Chain A
Amino acid sequence: MRAFKYSRAASLKDAAARLAETPNAKLIAGGTNLLDLMKLQIETPEALIDVNGLPLDQIEVTQEGGLRVGALVRNTDLAADVRVRRDYPVLSRAILAGASQQLRNRATTAGNLLQRTRCPYFYDTDQPCNKRKPGSGCSAIGGYSRGLAVIGASESCIATYPGDMAVALRVLDATVQISDADGETRDLALADFHRLPGDAPQVENDLEKGEIITSVTLPKPVASRQIYRKIRDRASYAFALVSVAAVIGKDFARFAIGGVAPKPWRSETAERELPQQGVARFSQALFADATPTRENRFKIVLAERVLQSTWTENRG
């Protein structure tokens, strides 16, 4: 790890101010991905602002009847919250499918949204990688791509977003609350939070410098069956090859797919046509612009088969 200045934030305002004024500063909460990357000097912040003491660790009911989840709520606590388990089981399931209990005990809601790709070339500092070192090239293209993106990728990057929680948040239509140094706040749909790589794969989300995620809000629960299926080689403690988050109600079905794209993948348009068109067509529409490699085209087949069985088993 490159040496850095460590300090604890006294308040949200203090954290935001310091984040804005300190060059190359980062917030640290769980640290489970940030420190991992700092050890490899893939992340080299000059200052770490520890936000663990801030009062952002509550889960509250919103006026609309949804839930507001503080940025610092640990994965374990979010997954175990009785309201989440009862009303948003897909979220509990997704979180519990990820990482290990040790990691979930530290990892936070906001940090989880910000976790970076597990592309092996991103992790190997001797290999070119546009995300790690813009302009150096993408080694994954033409390399080992079995775990990488089949859709939403670009000629500069085919990395996936590796997380599970965000896939559930996407299917739940969650929004992200963001605050800046001036105390200005904004709401961003989770759908718009993660960016596709385009020609700037180093930019992974919509956060501006100095902005801090303060919470994630879930809308009022809807009567539905909720499923999270995560497919991986070993039975646990592994990233998804493909995951499917599903919320299936009386007259609607929503699906978000993980492990296939640089962000949780979903198509509201295709969902509307699902009851008429059937799952095969739905899957085709979802992956219409896919550009799989020989090694990862199985992900599309896999996703379709999971969609098929999830839909068949849970509709109406």
Chain B
Amino acid sequence: MKFTEPAGPNAIDNQTIISRPVSRIDGRLKTSGGAKYGYEQLGPNTGAAYGYVVGAGIAKGKIRSLESSAARAAPGVLAVVTAENAGKLGKGKYNFAPLLAGPEVHHYHQAVALVVADTFEAARSAATLLRIEYAAEKGEFDLQAARARGDGQPAPIEQDPADTSVGDFDGAFAKASIKLDETYSTPDQSHAMMEPHASIAAWDGDQLTLWTSAQMVDWHRSDLAKTLGIEKEKIRLISPFIGGGFGGKLFLRADAVLAALGSRKARRPVKVALPRPLVFNNTTHRPATIQRIRIGAELDGKIVAIAHDSWSGNLDGGPPEGAVAATRLLYAGANRQTATRLAKIDLPEGHSMRAPGEAPGLMALEVAMDEMAEKLKLDPVEFRMMNDTQVDPEKPERKFSLRNLRACLQLGAERFGWSRRPMTPASLREGRLYIGYGMAAAFRNNIAMKSDARVRLGRDGRIVVETDMTDIGTGSYTIIAQTAAETMGVPLSSIDVRLGSSDYPVSCGSGGQFGAVNSTSGVFAACMKLREDIARKLGLPFDSKFEGGRVASGEWRIPVGEAAANGDLVAEDGVEYGDLDKRYQESTFGAHFCEVTVDADTAEMRVRRMLAVCAAGRILNPKTARSQVIGAMTMGVGAALMEELTVDKRAGCFINHDLAAYEVPVNADIPHQDVIFLDELDPIASPMKAKGVAELGLCGVAAAVANAVYNAVGVRVRDYPITLDKLLEKMPIRA
């Protein structure tokens, strides 16, 4: 299906099954221990051996020698894989540091070896017997210093240019009545998904089966083939359940490559899970940013000039963090510019983490907007509404496909009781606690991606959907079943969904909040094709109705399964997009509100109320979509108050590399969360008239918390995370 013009009325509009709060169809499996993740696909007595990954003990330099005889001689050890004996390895399209280092080391805990043994403990224990000598080299690990030296180079954000400029920012800013010029920083963050990266590899001749935990089946498969130097077709890659990814499992990682190499050497299936303390430096992270924001406005509150400069660092070949992306589109203002700078930093690979770009970008922009509102003596909600725009502010002839930011702000303010917000910071107290309200706008672009699927109708009227789409907790299994059931006019119980295997047509995969909208659009397309095949088979017109498990036309009511009486009917199709996303700006919008308490003695901060209002087109399943949003809000609380990969600038590593030292929110940190979805359809964005929502839920949350903390105690912290030590001495001593 080519999607080149806005969708007209279609089969999805009935909303008899889609858009209903259906419980997950894999819920019972996941709550009973029955859902088997990649690493669990080969159990006892399958002959699988265990691989343990060893990470580099330096950040930069060379392996001078790697002595493995003691490890090899250790009881139970089957093989030791190193760069020296692995053969020539390629590099995947999406990797910019090799997944097996040697002799060159590019970052801390980059894999240098895999020890394979009969048991997990034997492998782990033997791994410490490797004697590795390094020749360490000096690296750059300090983004502040690199920026101060002017090391940052202009860097495009994918297809967007490094510098954008419209109008005369400098002139307009100089003349503006009210000005803000502040610099904010966001730290390196870790995905910290609960399931570490893990794979099992098994060779049968030159055929490789890899069970793994991948958000993008086809990307992993292609990059694994490229890395191993074999044909893609030789690899069967299976990723049935994924224990969280958040971007950390978008790309092939060392567990997969080393499992394949280890299995080849040990001549056994090999299971490799990254040890948790290795995950933080071995894999990717969200890079730290330094962001300078300048806003100029007239006394009436209209923004006349806005500029956003962002610095981040990465290894050679790595991308910048696209923190300025939202600023180009969120608010009006005739004179505007952005600049993206990238410094060479020898920390581990910086890459996508949930809402890359917008998430850290709004952590800065939405605090700047709060500061600006205060300077203008305007309510922050009012200030944002005044500067809303229905067109791309850089190209006023280009409209948004649908933009209901104002409605989000208004409804949110009303439901949250925003009018009760203390006007003066540090003016509301309950005993030992200061109370503050904060809000922020949410913004995240929609991404249109090709996505294919295959549907098969059996004589019993059951329909099997196959696509290599993944379910990383997003609810893909369920919304795909809903989509197929709605389109085919059959009950949800007639649908079987099969995902996560390279045996199936290539989908968009999971990431960038593009998964739900594109994968269901692809399934919708395949189902529409199947409807044609069914109609043809039954001799009914193409515009026959599909409902109640029957195909209806005129007097005819034929059970859908009859079309497959002589054999399964199989249809394969997908969605491909034209230039609608060029003609229109497709984005999702929202508003976050929260209430925090700050302890007057200790500056301990806790969030006690949260609300998100989201406008993201059709919501395919309000139950699973709400879960995506509350989960994102939780991650936003982490970003605001605790999450930080701490850089040791001498060792060149993130030193707090486990789940005790890298704190993420626990249950006690999170209050009841409310989510409201605006009832809207976006026929320009997709045939489903839906857009993504999972990352929108994160964008702006941390700023809302930061603004609430400011409202509570009157101390503005521009350096995330906002930990109590940054407030303590600036807070008023309690009387």
Contact = CB atoms under 8 A, between A and B. Distances in A.
Tell me, yes or no, whether A binds B.
yes
Interface of A: 1-3, 39-41, 118, 120-121, 123-127, 139, 142-144, 146, 229, 231-239, 241, 298, 301-302, 305-306, 308-309
Contact of A305 (B121, B602, B646, B663): B602
Interface in B463-485: none
A237 B668 CA distance: 9
Interface string B624-663: 0000000000000000011000101011010111101101
Nearest to B721: A233
Nearest to A128: B651
Contacts of B655: 120-121, 124, 127, 143-144
Contacts of B734: 309
B125 interface: yes
A238 B277 CA distance: 17
A235 B650 CA distance: 31
B164 interface: no
B22 interface: no
A306 B601 contact: yes
A240 to B, nearest CB: 11
Interface in B112-144: 121, 124-125, 128
Nearest to B726: A298
Interface SS, B side = loop
A298 B663 contact: no
Nearest to B725: A298
18 contacts: A1-B124, A3-B121, A121-B655, A123-B658, A124-B653, A126-B651, A127-B651, A143-B650, A144-B646, A144-B648, A146-B725, A231-B602, A234-B642, A238-B666, A298-B725, A302-B724, A302-B728, A305-B602
B278 to A, nearest CB: 11
Given A143-B655, A144-B646, A309-B734, A233 B602 contact: no
Contacts of B641: 233-234
A298 B723 CA distance: 11
Given A1-B124, A120-B655, A144-B655, A234 B601 contact: no
Contacts of A118: 660-661
Interface of B: 55, 57-58, 121, 124-125, 128, 277, 432, 601-604, 606, 641-642, 646, 648, 650-651, 653, 655-658, 660-661, 663-669, 723-725, 728-729, 733-734
Nearest to B656: A120
Nearest to B120: A1
A119 to B, nearest CB: 10
A238 B663 contact: yes
Nearest to A298: B725
Given A124-B655, A298-B729, A234 B648 contact: no
A233 B655 CA distance: 17
Nearest to A236: B668
B704 to A, nearest CB: 18
A123 B276 CA distance: 12
Given A41-B128, A236-B668, A306 B602 contact: yes
A261 to B, nearest CB: 18
Contacts of A123: 277, 658, 661
A234 B661 contact: no
A267 B728 CA distance: 25
A136 to B, nearest CB: 13
Nearest to A126: B57
Contacts of A232: 604
A123 B733 CA distance: 37
Given A2-B125, A235-B668, A301 B601 contact: no
Nearest to A307: B601
A235 B634 CA distance: 13
A305 B55 CA distance: 43
Contacts of B729: 298, 301
Contacts of B55: 126
A144 B128 CA distance: 25
Nearest to B604: A231
Contacts of A40: 277
A260 B542 CA distance: 76
B601 A237 contact: no
Contacts of B651: 126-127, 139, 143
Nearest to B599: A231
B666 A237 contact: yes
A120 B665 contact: no
Nearest to A100: B666
A40 to B, nearest CB: 7
A124 B648 CA distance: 12
Contacts of B665: 234
